[in-house]
Structure 1
Amino acid sequence: MNRLTFFLLAALILCALSLVSAQHQARTLFVALERGLAEEKQLDIDWSRLQYQQSALGKSARIADTARAQLKMAPVNPGKTQYLSGIVLPPPAEAAPASAAEARR
């Protein structure tokens, strides 16, 4: 009976250590999960903020104000516009098949 008692005591101690180890691992994983969820929430807030900033920066009035203030740009003045001459553009692609069909007749 002495051996059986010693064996049962050793099994009980091993089970207790296994239980403590499992609880510690579960708590560690829960803390990691909570950190991940908090990081996800923060990233979602940052994403929303960046989307708002992108929409605000993309407005044409804001772009025009920045162009005038920082880049010293001015609206187009027809009197200062220069036109290039001597450039011949090929006919549009749609007109070419129609003229080829007329040439066959």
Structure 2
Amino acid sequence: MNRLTFFLLAALVFCALSLVGAQHQARTLFVALERAQAEEKQLDIDWSRLQYQQSALGKSARIADAARAQLKMATVMPGKTQYLAGVALPAFGAAASAPAAEDSK
């Protein structure tokens, strides 16, 4: 009877220790899950904020304001526009053949 009691006691201690280990592991995994969910919520908030900023920065009125303020650009006025007359640029194909013709002379 002593051997059976000792074996059952050892089995009981082993089961108790494995239960404590399983509970500890479950709590550790739960804490990690909570942290991951909190990080996910924060990343979703950041993603929404970045999408809003991208849409706000892409508006043409904001781009025009930045061009005037930072780059000192002005809108085009027909009265101030200067057109150059008499300047003829050679065509793309003609420009490539012109140096070859000059080399043969």
Bin for the TM-score computed over the shorter chain: 0.7 to 0.9
Q: 1:11-30 alignment to 2 at 5 Å? A: 11-30=11-30
- C-alpha displacement of 1:60: 0.3
Number of residues of Structure 1 aligned to a counterpart in Structure 2: 90
Give the CA deviation at 1:77.
Answer: 3.5
Q: Distance in 1 between matches of 2:57 and 2:84?
A: 32
User: Displacement of 1:87 after TM fit?
Assistant: 2.4
Q: Give CA-to-partner distance per residue, 1:14-51, whole Å, 9 cap, x none.
A: 00000010011011101101110110011001100010
Partner of 1:31: 31
- TM-score using structure 1 length: 0.77
> Structure 1 stretches of 5 or more lacking a match?
91-105
Work out the CA distance in 1 between the residues paired with 2:36 and 2:64: 42
TM-score when normalising by structure 2 = 0.77
Which runs of 5 or more structure 2 residues have no equivalent in the other structure? Answer: 93-105
% of aligned pairs identical?
78
Q: What pairs with 1:87-98 in structure 2 (closer than 5 Å)? A: 87-89=89-91
Aligned equivalents of 1:51, 1:43: Cα separation in 2: 12
Counterpart CA distance in 2 for 1:5 and 1:23 is 27
**Alignment-derived partner of residue 100 in structure 1:** none
- After TM superposition, give the deviation of residue 83 of structure 1 in Å: 4.7
Q: Which residue of 1 aligns with 2:76?
A: 76
Cα separation, 2, equivalents of 1:16 and 1:83: 94
Cα deviation for residue 76 of structure 1 reads: 2.2
RMSD between superposed Cα atoms in Å: 1.8
